[in-house]
């Protein structure tokens, strides 16, 4: 953008804080509290470690309402809990699937393993924790051990590709892994999930916390007739490990915080309506939802907080100033709120253009008169 030198020299900003409408971790420092929602989310996180069973929450929000940034905030909050294993999944851009349902489980398995590796846990501790897993889960135990403990890179890579569904091993590769079965069935995949959850418990984690973005994108990967398979699987994961053989030990809980668009949520409700006369997995899933949180448009007060937060954060020093680094008036807030209708993406879009023009022309304050002029000049 223009006048970057002015931005940094005069305002201690390395970039226009409204340039991007894409959610990312760097904007968590300018988080605008949705106070009531945030309190509910924190209670859900605290309950994720307790023994009342698994949990599922849905975060519903229209495009541009801050759904992904809210999910990142929730993930950040969960990451501060020392006995929760936070795992972030985004299903957008997934490839077409060969076997519906197992693809979802492969993502969970890979996510847990990557999260464990990111913790850089001592191999001896991991080996000891794996040894405590029952021989009823000997195949999953051996594959996980190859990934986390084995020093032989070839074995480790083969096991990683296998457990994430990236390869279908031949007989030679199965022998190299020391197993007989491929992961070609949901029940087999669940055995691997059980082994990982037991491992997590053994190394001190009471629960997982899956922050799942773009969940409804899974629906675009399969024919409409197969969408219910994902719903049935999610319902089964809520009840997990019910139905599994020989698994009666302590394991980390499964907790899902799923972001979904209003369109995706409406699709679920349509499936629910269609099933009422004939049965299906959607109604049982709906009864198992622990928390449903809908993101509404920002209020005027929240709009002001957003503008203040973004214009007060000194990204050069990594601190927040008591006053905005670039002044703005009350009528500027009113103008933005009215034009954006409380929509986050639109608020950021308008502020970006007005700030850009303000820096170019060296204005001393962002106000309504100047904002109206910019909008007219740029035909916005």
Asked if 235 contacts 284 with a C-beta cutoff of 8 angstroms, the reply is yes
Mind listing the pLDDT tens digit for each residue in 134-189?
999 999 999 999 999 988 889 999 999 999 999 999 999 999 999 999 999 999 99
Q: Give the CATH number of domain 33-294; options: 3.30.420.590, 3.40.50.720, 3.40.50.2300, 3.40.50.300.
A: 3.40.50.300
Report whether pLDDT(331) > 60: yes
Mind listing the pLDDT tens digit for each residue in 260-280?
999 889 988 888 888 877 788
Percentage of residues in the chain having pLDDT higher than 90: 58
**Domain edges within the chain:** 4-25+299-377, 33-294
Q: What is the pTM of this model?
A: 0.87
Mind listing the pLDDT tens digit for each residue in 219-258?
788 888 788 888 999 999 999 998 777 667 899 999 999 9
């Amino acid at each position: 953008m223009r006048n970057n030198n002015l931005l940094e020299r005069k305002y201690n900003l390395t970039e226009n804080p409204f340039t991007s409408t894409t959610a990312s971790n760097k904007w968590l420092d300018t988080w605008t509290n949705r106070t009531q929602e945030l309190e509910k989310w924190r209670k859900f996180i605290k309950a994720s470690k307790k023994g009342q069973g698994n949990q599922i929450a849905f975060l519903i929000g229209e495009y541009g309402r801050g759904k992904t940034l809210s999910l990142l905030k929730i993930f950040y909050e969960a990451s501060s809990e020392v006995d929760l294993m936070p795992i972030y999944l985004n299903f957008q851009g997934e490839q077409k699937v060969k076997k519906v349902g197992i693809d979802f489980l492969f993502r969970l398995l890979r996510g847990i393993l990557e999260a464990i590796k990111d913790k850089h846990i001592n191999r001896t501790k991991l080996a000891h924790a794996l040894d405590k897993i029952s021989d009823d889960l000997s195949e999953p135990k051996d594959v996980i051990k190859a990934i986390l403990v084995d020093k032989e890179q070839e074995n480790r890579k083969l096991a990683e590709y296998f457990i994430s569904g990236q390869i279908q091993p031949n007989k030679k590769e199965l022998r190299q892994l020391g197993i007989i079965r491929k992961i070609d069935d949901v029940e087999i995949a669940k055995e691997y999930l059980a082994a990982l959850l037991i491992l997590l418990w053994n190394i001190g984690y009471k629960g997982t916390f899956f922050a799942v973005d773009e969940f409804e994108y899974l629906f675009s990967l399969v024919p409409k007739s197969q969408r219910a398979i994902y719903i049935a699987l999610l319902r089964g994961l809520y009840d997990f490990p019910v139905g599994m053989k020989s698994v009666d030990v302590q394991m980390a809980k499964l907790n899902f915080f799923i972001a979904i668009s209003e369109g995706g949520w409406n699709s679920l409700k349509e499936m629910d309506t269609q099933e009422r006369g004939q049965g299906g997995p959607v109604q049982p899933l709906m009864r198992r939802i622990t928390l449903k949180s809908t993101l509404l448009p920002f209020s005027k007060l929240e709009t002001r907080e957003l503008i203040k937060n973004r214009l007060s954060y000194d990204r050069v020093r990594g601190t927040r100033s008591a006053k905005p680094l670039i002044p703005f008036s009350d009528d500027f807030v009113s103008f933005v709120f009215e034009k954006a209708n409380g929509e986050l993406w639109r608020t950021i879009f308008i502020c970006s253009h007005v700030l850009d023009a303000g820096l170019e022309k060296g204005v001393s304050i962002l106000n309504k008169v100047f904002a109206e002029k910019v909008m007219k000049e740029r035909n916005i």
